[in-house]
Chain A
């Protein structure tokens, strides 16, 4: 038995998804040669081999197995007239039956409960046991998956009835614009290292494929809820502003209830001052002293290619803003309420309204013009903050501080997850990769591609770790990616005559 076949069977057996489907398939009449388990093995083998998600590739993967494996899996059976090898028609037939059992979308664009359970189990089974509890941090993101079907005609009917129009980001770096596509939104939750933890293989732990007419963030909340219910701890959840911009009740609040620590990029519309609570300014997920300089409340993240000097200046400003922040003095209670106190009481700044703070050294900022009529946050020792304040924007670190930037940098794990399944060298889920249609059929192939990708990433991670250990034993630093940037000097040198 080949290593790849052994892996595929191990994943399927760990997930234990084939037998329940098999039990629901129609029986009676002539026995079906291709079992659900063998079909899924074939799909995994085709995905692991980097083949497109075509049923004919699944068929080829199965009939290409060794004779013993073919007989064991029922790809080759002994009929009365002699030996019979699985045909493409049989693959198509069984696949159709499986899709029929799992397909209960009802046209709402979301997967059925059975299909969701299957994808969850397969993804979880693809994570090796030793890494299951290595991290609780997840990077989530969505992308685009174009269906093979043509866009709807003028009557609005398409061959893929589950697909719908979606919008995807710019395809070029400079001045690119969003574009429309017809298909689905795949979402992934990728394991990333803890904030100060050791590296972990960036394995996709959960996937979800929905029609583009379904809002991705709320749909993925259900996936994370199932994950938590299954006993998988959820810690940091890293997401971009597409998630953070959703109404709090549809993303941030349900995740906080699960115990997640959000690390998100705020949407431009959500940044800056957004009203007051007890006189304190609500901005960027925190409450600030009413005398905070306005420029500190409108800070935005540094540009992606900002230099060291720009970053230092930016971090100095965010550190200054932190001095005006009303500090938390309690964790949220069961109802989500917590208490904060004036920064002058926390010895972070000097304020005439808090006479004791005026004895602090001059290296603290001083409130030179306190409010003439001090609000509640300036006269009380502490203020209670209800969960609806900063419901959408509150997160683990001050936004956009250096700590937030360092923590949020882990989110690129989800980008890497998509890049590894949109890689023309291995698996490329671009249009034409899968030519079956419908949410359920594409989801089955998509989750197989992700499971195969997990195996590939895990193997590469192990090789990299072993190499790093070898280098460490030899007193060498860990191997880093070679810098590929070519400078003007390089170009001039390369253009020199031989």
Chain B
């Protein structure tokens, strides 16, 4: 195995001893795996893409994902030099979708003003409910489709929206949106707060969004950005930026794993934390 590892790593000429040691470790482990499954210890066999993939999936035991990624990257790098005929070009990288930018408070106020300027009461209330539920409770289109007027209720000193279908949950509404959302809910009654008659209807928000589009001073109204606005407001209230900075992390994947193991909070506590303004 040592011979294979040395031969393969020598072919790619690592720039530093540290890099060489890392590549040698990966190749040696690959060689041991290959020996265990009866493969010939030559680069053309062991550095075949399928062998590398199998080694990364099945040959690294309980290794963490980060190590698997590193080992695969290193082995692919070695394969490009030691077995060039084996390494096919990978798929072109595609841009990763980022979180949408939140609206500013002024933009939200402008959207609410536009809603108030709608010609009919029904449209005023429906558009107001859309903006308030999006920016005040972070509901998406799939959530909004099922929310009726009766689902908006006062509880624990705040206002919550009871989402019954899909990702069922109770969402506290930010305080600045309470009055307008309660008005809209009272107007809808047992009907859907954003309009329509059937819960499986499609494009329920498209008409409402179109009614506030066309101006050049305001960006287009998007539910995704409304939700991002709610997320940003809550994060500010909770001090998440300070927490992330203190934890030294830049993304929430690991934090989410930890949070998932915590006991769910009481609704009262959720309203206290997220129902402020």
A residues apposed to B, CB below 8 Å: 292-296, 313, 316-317, 320-321, 350, 361-366, 368
Contact = CB atoms under 8 A, between A and B. Distances in A.
Given A363-B58, A366-B48, A368-B45, A293 B53 contact: no
Interface stretch (B5-13, B35-43, B73-81): B35-43
A364 B54 contact: yes
Given A361-B57, A362-B57, A363-B57, A368 B37 contact: no
A363 B54 CA distance: 5
B36 A365 contact: no
A317 B51 contact: no
A495 to B, nearest CB: 42
Interface residues of B, number: 13
Contact of A316 (B36, B39, B54): B36
Nearest to B33: A316
A347 to B, nearest CB: 15
B50 interface: yes
A361 to B, nearest CB: 7
Interface of B is mostly: helix
Nearest to B39: A293
Contacts, number: 43
B50 A368 contact: yes
Contacts of A363: 54, 57-58
A43 B58 CA distance: 64
Contacts of B54: 362-366
Interface in B11-44: 36-40
B38 A321 contact: yes
A317 B37 contact: yes
Interface of A is mostly: mixed
20 contacts: A293-B40, A294-B38, A295-B38, A295-B39, A296-B38, A313-B36, A316-B36, A316-B37, A317-B36, A317-B37, A320-B36, A320-B38, A363-B54, A363-B57, A363-B58, A365-B50, A366-B48, A366-B51, A368-B45, A368-B48
B95 to A, nearest CB: 26
B94 to A, nearest CB: 21
Nearest to A368: B48
Nearest to A362: B53
A390 B93 CA distance: 52
Nearest to B50: A366
A37 B259 CA distance: 86
Given A320-B36, A362-B54, A366-B48, 7 more contacts: A293-B37, A294-B40, A295-B40, A313-B36, A316-B36, A317-B38, A361-B57
Contacts of B48: 366, 368
A426 to B, nearest CB: 47
B81 to A, nearest CB: 19
Nearest to B58: A363
A362 B33 CA distance: 14
A295 B38 CA distance: 5
Nearest to B57: A363
A312 to B, nearest CB: 10
Interface string B44-62: 0100101101100110000
B26 to A, nearest CB: 17
